[in-house]
Amino acid sequence: MTAVPLLSVENLRTYFHGADGPVRAVDGVSFALQPGETLGIVGESGCGKTVACLSILRLVDHPGHIEPNSSVRLRGRELTDAAEAEMREIRGNEISMIFQEPMTSLNPVWTVGSQIAEAVRLHRGSSAADARARAIEMLGLVGIPEPERRVDDYPHELSGGMRQRVMIGMALACDPAVLIADEPTTALDVTIQAEILDLLAELQKRLGMAMIFVSHDLGIVSEIADRVIVMYGGQVVESSTAREIFDRPRHPYTEGMLRSIPVLTQKSQRLSVIPGSVPSPNRWPVGCRFHPRCPYVWERCRSEAPSLPTGTLAARCWLEKEPERRLGGHSRTPSSEAR
Amino acid sequence: MSESNGLPTRSRHSSRPHRAAALLPGLPLLLRGRALSGLSLMALAACMVTLLVLASDRVRTTFGAGRIDEWIALLTLLGAMAAAWGLGVAAILWPGAAGDGHTSQWAAAWHDFRKNRLAVVGLYVMVILCLATLLAPFLTPFAPGAFNDIAATRHLPPSLEHLMGTDRFGRDVFTRVLYGARISLSIGFIAVGISITLGTLIGAMSGYFGGVVDTVLMRFVDMLISFPRLVLLIAIIALLEPSVTLVIVVLGLTLWPSTARIVRSEVLSLREREFVQAARALGLKAPRIIFRHIVPNVLGPVIVAATLGIGNIILIEAGLSFLGMSVQPPTPSWGNIIDGGREYLVQAWWVTTFPGLAIVVTVIAFNLIGDGLRDALDPRLRLRR
Residue A44, CA distances (Å) to A147, A285, B271 in order: 37, 17, 25
Assess contact for A66 and A13: CB atoms under 8 A: yes
Within a domain: residue A76?
no
Provide the 10 A C-beta neighbour count for residue A112.
Answer: 29
Q: Is A105 on the interface with B (CB under 8 A)?
A: yes
Q: For B285, which of A57, A88, A157 is closest by C-beta distance?
A: A88
Distance CA B1, CA A317 (A): 52
Task: Supply the pLDDT for residue B239.
Answer: 87
Contact A281, A234 (CB under 8 A): yes
Determine the residue of chain A that is closest to B273 in CA distance.
A104
- What pLDDT, on the 0 to 100 scale, is given for residue A324? 78
- Strand A210-215 and strand A38-42: the pairing is parallel
In which band, very low, low, confident or very high, does the pLDDT at B10 lie, cut at 50, 70 and 90?
Answer: very low
* Nearest CB to B102 within list A59, A97, A157: A157
B19 CA: distance to closest CA in chain A (Å): 29
Residue B1, burial from CB neighbour count under 10 angstroms (0-12, 13-18, 19+): exposed
Q: What is the pLDDT of residue A332?
A: 43
Closest chain A residue to B274, measured at CA:
A105
Q: What are phi and psi of B190, to 5 degrees?
A: -70, -45
HSE at residue B236, side-chain half, CA atoms within 13 A, is 19
Which residue is closest to B293 within chain A, CA to CA?
A107
Weakest mean pLDDT among A213-222, B40-49, B178-187, B268-277 = B40-49
Q: Answer yes or no: is pLDDT of B382 > 70.
A: no
Across the strands, what pairs with A239? Answer: A229, A314
The reply to whether residue A122 touches residue B282, judged by beta carbons under 8 angstroms, is: yes
Alpha helices in chain B (DSSP H): 10-13, 27-31, 35-54, 56-65, 68-93, 105-115, 117-134, 136-139, 150-153, 173-209, 211-226, 229-239, 244-254, 256-270, 274-281, 286-288, 295-322, 334-341, 349-377, 379-382
Total domain count, chain A: 2
- Cβ separation B280–A59 shorter than 8 A: yes
pLDDT of B132 strictly over 90? no
Peptide bond into A63 cis (omega under 30): yes
Contact B283 A149 (CB under 8 A): no
Instruction: Mark yes or no for CB contact A62/B210 under 8 Å.
Output: yes
B102 contacts on A by Cβ (under 8 Å): 111, 152-154, 157
Axis-axis angle for helices B334-341, B295-322 (nearest 10): 20
Does a cis peptide bond (omega within 30 degrees of 0) precede residue B330?
yes
Please name the residue of chain A whose CA is at the shortest distance from the CA of residue B283. A88
DSSP tag of A215? E
**A290/chain B closest Cα distance in angstroms:** 31
* Rounded percentage of chain B residues whose pLDDT exceeds 90: 9
Q: Give the CATH number of domain B164-382; options: 3.30.1330.60, 3.40.50.11890, 1.10.3720.10, 3.40.1350.10.
A: 1.10.3720.10
Which pLDDT value is given to residue B301?
A: 86
Smallest CA–CA separation between A1 and chain B, in Å?
29
Residue B20: pLDDT band with limits 50, 70, 90? low
A153 shares contact with chain B (CB less than 8 Å): yes
Q: What's residue B21's pLDDT?
A: 67
**Contact indicator for B193, B252 with CB cutoff of 8 Å:** yes
End-to-end Cα distance, chain B: 11
Which residue range forms the structural domain that includes residue A284? 254-338
pLDDT in tens, chain A (339 residues): 456 889 999 999 998 888 878 888 888 899 999 998 999 999 888 788 889 999 999 988 878 888 888 999 999 889 988 898 999 989 989 999 998 887 788 888 888 999 999 989 988 888 889 999 999 999 998 888 889 988 888 888 888 888 888 999 999 898 899 999 998 888 788 888 888 888 999 888 888 899 999 998 888 888 889 999 999 988 899 998 888 888 888 888 888 888 887 777 766 667 777 888 777 777 788 888 888 888 888 888 888 888 888 877 888 888 888 877 777 544 444 443 333
Half-sphere exposure of A148 (CA within 13 A, CB side): 0
Q: In the 8-state DSSP scheme, what is residue B293?
A: I
CB B385 within 8 A of CB B5: yes
| Interchain CB distance below 8 Å, B273 and A104 | yes
Give the model's pLDDT for residue B106. 78
Give the nearest partner residue to B102 out of A88, A119, A154, using CB atoms: A154
- Whether A63 has its CB under 8 Å from any CB of chain B: the answer is no
Q: State whether B274 and A91 contact (CB < 8 Å).
A: no
| φ/ψ (deg, to 5) at A294 | -90, 135
Would the CB atoms of B275 and A104 count as touching at under 8 Å?
yes
Give the SS3 label for residue B241.
Answer: coil
pLDDT in tens, B79-90: 888 887 787 777
Is the Cβ pair B282, A118 closer than 8 Å? yes
- Determine the Cα–Cα distance for residues A149 and A113; give it in Å rounded to an integer: 10
Residue A2 within any structural domain of the chain: no
Share of chain B above pLDDT 70, in %: 86
> Between chains, do B278 and A99 touch, taking CB under 8 Å as contact?
yes
For residue A224, being part of any structural domain is answered with no
Rounded to a whole number of angstroms, the distance from the CA of A55 to the nearest CA of chain B is 11
Please check whether residue A307 lies inside any domain of the structure.
Answer: yes
Instruction: Go through chain B and tell me how many residues it has.
Output: 385
Domain annotation covers residue A192: no
**Domain stops at, among A174, A196, A225:** A174
In the 8-state DSSP scheme, what is residue B4?
G
pLDDT at res. B233 = 82
Chain segment B236-287, per-residue pLDDT in tens: 888 887 788 888 888 888 888 989 999 999 999 888 888 898 898 888 988 8
Query: Which are the contacts of A7, defined by CB distance < 8 A and separation ≥ 6?
Result: A32, A33, A56, A72, A73, A74, A95, A177, A178, A210
Q: Please give the pLDDT value at position B344.
A: 83
- How high is the mean pLDDT of chain B? 80
pLDDT of residue B14 exceeding 60: no
Please tell me which residue of chain B has the smallest CA distance to A152: B102
Q: Do A118 and B292 touch (CB under 8 A)?
A: yes
Instruction: From A174, A204, A224, give the residue that closes a domain.
Output: A174
Q: In Å, how far is B110's CA from the nearest CA of chain A?
A: 14
Q: Is residue A267 part of a domain?
A: yes
For residue A218, the surrounding DSSP H or E stretch is: helix A218-224
Q: Which residues of A touch B273 (CB under 8 A)?
A: 104
Distance, CA of B111 to CA of B123 (rounded, Å): 14
Which of the listed residues A125, A143, A174 is the one where a domain comes to its end?
A: A174
A284 part of a folded domain: yes
Nearest to A157 among B1, B273, B285 (CB): B1
pLDDT of residue B11: 42
Residue A247 has a CB neighbour count (10 Å cut-off) of 13
Helix or strand or coil: residue A40?
Answer: strand
pLDDT confidence tier of residue B190, bands split at 50, 70 and 90: very high
Look at residue B18 in the predicted model and tell me its pLDDT. 63
List the end-to-end C-alpha distance of chain A, in Å, as a whole number.
32
Smallest Cβ–Cβ distance between B281 and the set A57, A89, A158 belongs to A57
Q: Where are the domains of chain B?
A: 13-95, 164-382
> Please, are residues B311 and B370 in contact by the beta-carbon 8 Å criterion?
yes
> CB distance B296–A104 less than 8 Å?
no
- A240 bridge partner residues: A228
What are the residues facing A74 on neighbouring strands? Answer: A7, A77
